[in-house]
Structure 1
């Protein structure tokens, strides 16, 4: 991922695999919000593989963020400030994300994000490798994405959006949270079927 991509929040690459993946992710994330009360399913929990390793480091929860021109981060921050009751906040978030949030795949960045606790060994390994494969497999669909990885600064819009999203579901998110950005190289990605 280039610094420009991270700053702009998208690779701006035109590729049919990108469109296919984003459409699928929007669909499964909306289903997750509606049918699974927002609890992450395998469709958003890819296995992480580093180059030359056959064994997964484990799975991570990925977040899809809207492109800056479609950002709804202010709305998420407002929801979080509106109440200190975690159950009420979660209920409002579920209603919000279940409605129209995931309706237009073209409004989303192709840079996925994930949060890690400060000092996470897994995050350190991924960053040291500088790239990894994220393997999503659910609902008879598989995507194997080769991604460049970068730690996002606290001022990065994707960092802010990721924390705003996650705090709606986990108000106890540690202050030392690290956010990594995963930018797929769409020419190297594989889908089955």
Structure 2
């Protein structure tokens, strides 16, 4: 895995754990959109464990973005720009994201992203560590992902997709919002129950 993967949002791993995680994430995110009106819950809010730390730093809300060949960033940006009514934008976003958006796990990048407020000490701490573990635990399934951490520049495709997605739910997102990318090392990650 290299910065090239982070730049373009594409991993070419066919690791069985990757496939199982991506399929699970698509399912739980679609459920969140359909059953929880898009409100984030445990399945998409992993605990962040920094190296040599016994306790998690906290939980973050992750975004799963389409890989560049399947990007819908322009559509998301258009949805946010069509009206100034946050309720209308949110309704359109939920309709769009709860329909077929999460139907094909293979269309998504396995580099998860998360936004942080400008100058966030937490983001600085996570980025400075260079690596972390993201621990997802919901619906009797646990994934413990060992990740390389990237600070994504505004021109990065995953940065743009993340901001476009989050603006649908938070139109007041500051323009200098920080975006971190979490690139899993599938060989160093695990699942419980184990993936066969």
- State the TM-score, normalizing by the size of structure 2: 0.97
Equivalent residue runs for 1:122-137 within 5 Å: 122-137=122-137
User: Hey, what does 1:20 align to over in structure 2?
Assistant: 20
Which residue of structure 2 aligns with residue 56 of structure 1? 56
3-state secondary structure, aligned to 2:100: helix
Per the TM alignment, residue 12 of structure 1 is displaced from its structure 2 partner at its CA by 1.3
Q: Where does residue 39 of structure 1 map in the other structure?
A: 39
> 5 Å matches for 1:80-119?
80-119=80-119
Shift of 1:2: 2.0
What is the RMSD computed on CA atoms of the aligned residues? 0.7
Q: Kindly state the Cα deviation for residue 174 of structure 1 after the two structures are TM-superposed.
A: 1.2
Cα distance between partner residues in 2 of 1:154 and 1:132: 22
Q: CA deviation at 1:11?
A: 2.1
TM superposition shift of 1:8: 1.6
Q: Distance in 2 between matches of 1:49 and 1:11?
A: 23
SS of alignment partner, residue 144 of structure 1: strand
CA distance in 2, matches of 1:144, 1:10: 20
Q: How many angstroms apart in 2 are the aligned matches of 1:129 and 1:2?
A: 17
Q: CA deviation at 1:13?
A: 1.4
> In the aligned structure 2, how far is the partner of 1:8 from the partner of 1:115?
18
Q: Displacement, 1:10?
A: 1.8
Q: Which moved more, 1:148-157 or 1:5-14?
A: 5-14
Distance in 2 (alpha carbons) for counterparts of 1:8 and 1:173:
24
State the distance in 1 between where 2:74 and 2:19 align: 26
- Equivalent residue number for residue 71 of structure 2: 71
How far does residue 127 in structure 1 lie from its aligned partner after superposition? 0.7
Question: What is the TM-score when the length of structure 1 is the normalising length?
Answer: 0.99
1:190 — aligned with what?
190
Unaligned runs of 5+ in 1: none
Task: Tell me the residue number matched to 1:168.
Answer: 168
Moved over 2 A (4+): none
Aligned equivalents of 1:116, 1:106: Cα separation in 2:
27
